[in-house]
Amino acid sequence: MTLPKNFQFSQSSLQDYVDCPRRFQLRYIQRRAWPALDTAPALESELFMQRGAQFHHLVHQYFLGIPTEKLARQIEGDEMLEGWWQNFTDLQGFQNLEDLRARPEISLSAPLGEFRLMAKYDVVALTPSSPAHLPEGKGENFTIYDWKTSRKRPKREWLEKKLQTRVYPYLLTRAGAQLNGGQPIPPEQIEMIYWFTDFPDQPARFSYSEEQFTTAEAYLGGLIAEINNLGDDLAPLTKDEFRCNYCPYRSLCSRGNKAGLLDEMDEFNESEIGFELELDFEGITEVEY
Amino acid sequence: MAVLCVFEPLWSIFFICAKFPSGGTNLTCQSQNGTPVQETMSLTEFKLTASQLDIIEAPLDARIFLDGPAGSGKTTVGVERLKRLLEAGIPGDEILLLVPQRTLAAPYYDVLQSPQAAPGGSASILTIGGIAKRMVELFWPLVSEQAGFAQPNRPPTFLTLETAQYYMAHLVRPLFSQGLFEGITIERNRLYSQIVDNLNKATLVGFAHTEIGMRLKSAWAGDPGQAHIYEDAQTCANLFREYCLEHNLLDFSLQVELFTQHLWPEALCREYLMNQYRHLIIDNLEEDVPVTFDVLKEWVPAFESALLIFDLGAGYRRFLGADPQTTSRLSEYCDTRVSFLNSFTLSEKLSSLGHALSVAILPEQEAASDLLPGAQFSIPYSPLPETRYYPQMLNWVSDQIEALIEQGTPPGEIVVLAPYLSDSLRFSLVERLDGRGIPAYSHRPSRSLRDEPATQTLLTLAALAHPEWGLLPSAFELTYALIQSIESLDLVRARLLTEIVYRKGKLLPFEQIRPEMQERITYKLGLAYDGLRAWLEAYIQGPSEELDHFLSHIFGELLSQAGYGFHSDYDAAEVAANLIESVRKFRWGVGERLEIEGTPLGKEYLEMVKDGVIAAQYLSPWQTEPEDAVFLAPATTFLMRNRSAAYQFWLDIGSRGWHERIRQPLTHPYVLSRQWDLARPWSDLDELEASRQSLHTLITGLVRRCREGILLGISELGEQGYEHKGQLIKALDRALRSV
Ligand code: SF4
């Protein structure tokens, strides 16, 4: 397999590989355009994705200092978004932006093996309070927030295994020195929080440690090396055929012809939608001048 | 025979380099003076000079304006300065790289994405349009009301070029019956696009859109009876702008105007930009537009460091509003101005060729030219009369490319350039090179989206699946769609099948066909046909889907399944993906309005494709460009890649396209610029002067981006079969006679 020159790995491309090596090969190496539906009904699924993207956009605007009332007016009449927004603005801790040194939509990347690994964070917030496991007053706390708009709240064990949970804190340690006065951020000062728009009181919190960092480095480096060393043969297809219902390549793999139904998604796949949410705000072609 | 006469005396006089292949004629080129030729090397392989190092290592609070000709190592300085900033611990996300066009940023992307770059935040690579769009997305609620939008509390809809043209067509079409644009002959879609272009120019140059007509009219020196078309163009521009404000639509001009007029002066937005970006690198500033100057003259002093790179003698994007005279004034806002004088890429002979051509085109500017005369040179070209006809010339070009590659030139070091690259020229050349096993690629797919067989197939099936639209496909269209949809179905069987099964928009089941006909068609193909028919029938029974969803649906469930035409045709799948993307953007841009009107979006899309309003563009392919392949492009496209090549082939050198503007009766890049004196009419002399200047800029730009040699593809009869003799061939004649 030859990866394109200067290919950058992300949590979602690595997750693709872990879920199904064939999907990684089709999507990132062969760059196969295959515009089949992944979820049906298409319109419902699209609206769900769009709302998620709108919510992310609203929060980004909020952190830039646009008054909450002005933002609320932009979504008037959309009950679901209004509900999510209400849950967000009710959150303690985000109300005083002056105290919270939050960096919304920040991208970080670092070399790993022969490639780069990159991540785009919803928000990285710096707070003076220390995590519970740190002695009082020992440095700042760097909290990674990730907004999830999935309709079901995934189990902690599932979240723990997600590549995102491994990549984000790892990369903040490797590449986040700029947020810490030029010094690498010690893993113990990092926490990752998944916050669910529909379950505002049930965030999933993950603390981080030196040991987790070392394990993640070995694991992610190994994964990237493994991908780089794959031959030109067809990569193996996933054994979990349920995944194929929600994968556009199913006709190429002879794994059925119908897109999976949004309503029939199990917790695993629905969370997947929330995780892969990437409505492209740049999608409207920029006219270059 | 004119062309032959021009060059015949020069066959044996001079030779440019030792590496030229044999042309299979008496044009074999050998180095006569034995001067070694500069080896192919990339810019980054050059050892940095002291003056380059001075800028790269300048203090981290320096604001430097760097100018020089192409090939003098300016971009190398930009790239190395970027590395230096990152190595000095400047967070990547505090660096803004500004370019007038994204293709020009390729060397910077290479640095930022390489595994050698230090860990940290990512630098932003943006155009002024990109900044405007981002800022509008983020800060829209702050300015929507003051900017005059009728629904300030609702999010805006961003228009693509396609959807902007669609709205323009929607507004302007009813006005034709009222006599607007009477007296000019122009294809309607070009008319719409020129009005959109006028709005863009007004914004980018920085004058009110309500002045477009007045400016064009005051420069009109032709028949006074025709001047009304500029008033008509103004009426349409006004209508369009009002419609956009009424419906929260943001075309490119309105995005930039919102940014420059409302957001840039807005404290929160300006603070955000100024806090976010502390270091600036701009490359190819000469290709940027006046509003970039307006913004940067206030912004440059606020950066901790700035490096502004300006290519002297360029300005190829004038037709898009580039204004080197204006943007060069940014030097006044920098602490230091540095000029590079020498070219790293240009050999003595190419410099000499450039000088001779430069003087032949613009003799009065000889003193100002930095290209040096002296060395003897020549340009190999396709020999007449063997290449009298176009296909013979293409064979010669392919032979030469093959020979160069055999002699060790990497294919990626060869470019084939023409003023315009027609689809047929592109196809013919790529096919010839393909036949020789030479990788080649073009700047865009060879056909527009609507001309692709996969597009036509999908839209025919969409029409069949939506009888309520009343757009029943013809028998011919169905036959064509069946061939594409069903694997191994040939024309004869497809035609037979259509004749038998297609009745008033309905498809009969295969089983109802007479057995002998079933046998002729074969049961295997019949089964596939039945699958398609049943799928469509089932779809018709259910609720209609949005067109893009329908296309994805039929692609995934049927056409990409084994036994159907798209299953192993990856190119067709790519076209399908592009089409679906185009429909989706159309839906996001105009869906709401159509819903209010009660017009089915799919029907409207199909009709607009037929009219050429949409899907007429060439969408960028999904695939990335190959790394080592011969590049075929219009000359200006090559110049906008900011790269040099070892060998350049210039085709169609007799064409007037090398210097003449495309006829655009409703717009004018020179009149709608900051440099134009409003009191003057645009005369024939101005036109002549502009075309000489633009040929000069283009040709010297090409020569400066060549390291080994230039070869000319000449045919006596052009692609259309006519003789042609434009300014370039005359200049070449004069240049070669002068040495
Ligand atoms: S269809 Fe299934 S096997 Fe094929 S790429 Fe998708 S997930 Fe992998």
Given ligand 1 and candidates A240, A243, A258, A269, which is best to mutate, with the most ligand atoms within 8 Å of its CB?
A: A243
Confidence of residue B375 (pLDDT cuts 50, 70, 90): low
User: Are residues B484 and B603 part of one domain?
Assistant: yes
Asked, for residue A2, whether it belongs to a domain, the answer is no
Q: How is residue B286 written in tokens?
A: 């000469």
pLDDT tens-digit readout, B523-543: 999 999 999 999 999 999 999
Task: List chain A residues with CB under 8 Å of B137.
Answer: 57, 281
d(C-alpha B89, C-alpha A180), whole Å? 12
Asked, for residue A3, whether it belongs to a domain, the answer is no
Asked, for residue B617, whether it belongs to a domain, the answer is no
User: Are residues B74 and B167 part of one domain?
Assistant: no
User: Are residues B685 and B667 part of one domain?
Assistant: yes
User: Are residues B504 and B423 part of one domain?
Assistant: no
Domain stops at, among B549, B577, B611:
B611
Asked, for residue A137, whether it belongs to a domain, the answer is yes
Q: Mean pLDDT check: name the lowest of A245-259, B356-370, B427-441.
A: B356-370
Asked, for residue B142, whether it belongs to a domain, the answer is no
pLDDT for res B620: 55
The answer to whether B117 faces chain A, any CB pair under 8 Å, is yes
Inter-chain residue contact B573 with A33, CB threshold 8 Å: yes
pLDDT for res B31: 28
The count of structural domains within chain A is 1
Asked, for residue B6, whether it belongs to a domain, the answer is no
Task: List chain A residues with CB under 8 Å of B546.
Answer: 42-43
pLDDT for res B378: 67
Asked, for residue B527, whether it belongs to a domain, the answer is yes
Inter-chain residue contact B154 with A37, CB threshold 8 Å: no
Inter-chain residue contact A42 with B552, CB threshold 8 Å: yes
pLDDT tens-digit readout, B665-698: 999 999 999 999 988 999 999 999 999 999 999 9
Mean pLDDT, range B510-524, rounded to an integer: 94
Task: List chain A residues with CB under 8 Å of B102.
Answer: 288
Beta strands A115-127; A141-148: pairing state: antiparallel
pLDDT tens-digit readout, B255-296: 999 999 999 999 999 999 999 999 999 999 999 999 999 999
User: Are residues B629 and B596 part of one domain?
Assistant: no
pLDDT for res B46: 57
Note down the domain range covering B44. 37-126+278-340
Asked, for residue A1, whether it belongs to a domain, the answer is no
Mean pLDDT, range B551-569, rounded to an integer: 97
User: Are residues B251 and B161 part of one domain?
Assistant: yes
Asked, for residue B121, whether it belongs to a domain, the answer is yes
d(C-alpha B102, C-alpha B129), whole Å? 11
Asked, for residue B737, whether it belongs to a domain, the answer is no
The count of structural domains within chain B is 4
Mean pLDDT, range B306-328, rounded to an integer: 92
Residue B145 predicted with pLDDT over 80: yes
User: Are residues B560 and B454 part of one domain?
Assistant: yes
Taking the centre of ligand 1 as the mean of its atom positions, its distance from the CA of residue A246, in whole angstroms, is 9
| Interface size between A and B, measured as CB pairs under 8 A | 174
Note down the domain range covering A191. 8-94+104-288
The answer to whether B128 faces chain A, any CB pair under 8 Å, is yes
User: Which segments of B362-490 does DSSP mark as H helices, in order?
Assistant: 390-406, 423-435, 453-465, 475-485
Residue B36 predicted with pLDDT over 50: no
User: Are residues B518 and B419 part of one domain?
Assistant: no
ipTM > 0.95 for the complex: no
In B99-197, beta strands by DSSP E: 120-121, 124-126, 157-158
User: Are residues B572 and B456 part of one domain?
Assistant: yes
Residue B369 predicted with pLDDT over 70: yes
d(C-alpha B730, C-alpha B147), whole Å? 53
User: Are residues B114 and B43 part of one domain?
Assistant: yes
Asked, for residue B560, whether it belongs to a domain, the answer is yes
Which one of A182, A257, A285 has the shortest CB-CB distance to B556? A257
Alpha-carbon distances of B521 from A44, A259, B128, B498, B653, rounded to whole Å: 41, 32, 58, 11, 51
pLDDT for res A263: 85
Inter-chain residue contact A4 with B624, CB threshold 8 Å: yes
CA B87 to chain centre: 35
User: Are residues B457 and B404 part of one domain?
Assistant: no
Domain CATH number, residue A112: 3.90.320
Which one of A73, A175, A281 has the shortest CB-CB distance to B120? A175
| A238 close to A12: Cβ distance less than 8 angstroms | no
Inter-chain residue contact A35 with B576, CB threshold 8 Å: yes
Taking the centre of ligand 1 as the mean of its atom positions, its distance from the CA of residue A17, in whole angstroms, is 11
Cα angle for residues B468, A48, A124 (degrees, 5° grid) = 150
- The list of chain A residues with pLDDT below 50 reads 130, 133-135, 268, 271, 273-289
Q: Mean pLDDT check: name the lowest of A261-270, B103-112, B461-470.
A: A261-270
User: Are residues B518 and B661 part of one domain?
Assistant: no
Residue B371 CB-half CA count within 13 A:
31
| B158 close to A284: Cβ distance less than 8 angstroms | yes
Taking the centre of ligand 1 as the mean of its atom positions, its distance from the CA of residue A259, in whole angstroms, is 12
Q: Which residue's CA lies nearest to atom 2 of ligand 1?
A: A244
